Amino acid sequence: MESEQQHSAASVRAVEIGVAVVIFLFGALVVFDSYRLGARWGDDGPQAGYFPFYVGLFICASGAAIFVRALRNTAFAAESFVSREELKKILTVLVPTIVYVSVIGYLGFYVASTLYIAYFMWHLGKYAWFKIAPVSIGVSVAFFLIFEIWFSVPLPKGPLEAALGLN
């Protein structure tokens, strides 16, 4: 259903059904692999797939039950799971987060975190750069002091730390 201001991006029913199907497929995968390993009684007790086999069956059954319920529930079809505005907001956080965790390996934890916090403050908070710079750099320096020096828990470092001789 489309309300005045918010356009629905997906109905609850569509998402319920989608998730139920994924759950069922996941269960089928578990059953399949457990069967491959042997889900029967071996020479010296239950085989490796014995326990997961039944776990997989339970997953399939519950997925099917949720699927049937969602199909029969027409109220779900009208309900919005997420509006386009909400989805957009979530993606503006989720996409940078995915980018952030994937560049940690190249830039190191501290540089990546600085950039990530700076992006958030710039994009969501609309701060000026002279506020962004001290906060984002300050937080990362604080983390550096806490983890590397106080708790001596090393985090991945990148070219900047190498250049500064902090490895």
Partner 1 sequence: MEEINALLQGFGVALSPLNLLLMFVGVVLGIIIGVLPGLGGANGVAILLPLTFSMAQQPGGTTSAIILLSCIYWGALFGGAITSILFNIPGEPWSVATTFDGHPLAQLGRAGSALTAAFTSSFIGALIAVIMITFLSPVVAGFALRFGPPEFFSVYLLTFCAFVGMSGGNAAKTIASMMIGFALAAVGLDSVTGTLRLTFGFTSLLKGFDFLIAVIGLFGIGEILETLEEGLAFKGASARINFKVVLETWKELPRYWATSLRSAAVGCFMGIVPGGATPASFMSYGLARRLSKDGNDFGSGKVEGVVAPETAAHAAGTSALLPMITLGVPGSPTAAVLLGGLLIWGLQPGPLLFVEKPDFVWGLIASMYLGNIAGLIVVLTCVPLFAAILRIPFSIIAPVIIVICAIGAYTVHNSMFDVYLMVAFGVLGYAFKKLGYPLAPLVLALVLGDRAEENFRNAIKGSQGDLLVFFSNGLVGGLTSLALLLLFWPFIRAGWRMVLGKS
Residue count, binding to partner 1 (CB under 8 A): 67
Sole binder of partner 1 in the list 101, 141, 145, 160 (CB under 8 A): 101
> Which 8-state DSSP code applies to residue 40?
S
Helix, coil or strand: residue 146: helix
**Considering only CA atoms, which of 51, 50, 60 is closest in space to residue 29?**
60
Sole binder of partner 1 in the list 14, 86, 133, 148 (CB under 8 A): 86
Q: What residues are paired with 41 via a beta bridge?
A: 46
Sole binder of partner 1 in the list 9, 19, 21, 77 (CB under 8 A): 19
- Considering only residues 23 to 82 of the shown chain, the ones binding partner 1 according to CB under 8 A are 23, 26-27, 29-30, 33-34, 37, 41, 44-52, 55-56, 58-59, 61-63, 65-66, 69, 81-82
10 Å CB burial of residue 40 (0-12, 13-18, 19+) is exposed
Contact 81, 14 (CB under 8 A): yes
In terms of DSSP H, where are the helices of 73-166? 74-78, 84-107, 109-123, 129-144, 159-164
Binding residues for partner 1 (CB under 8 A): 12, 15-16, 19, 23, 26-27, 29-30, 33-34, 37, 41, 44-52, 55-56, 58-59, 61-63, 65-66, 69, 81-82, 86, 89-90, 93-94, 97-98, 100-102, 104-105, 109, 113, 116-117, 119-121, 123-125, 127, 135, 139, 143, 147, 151-156
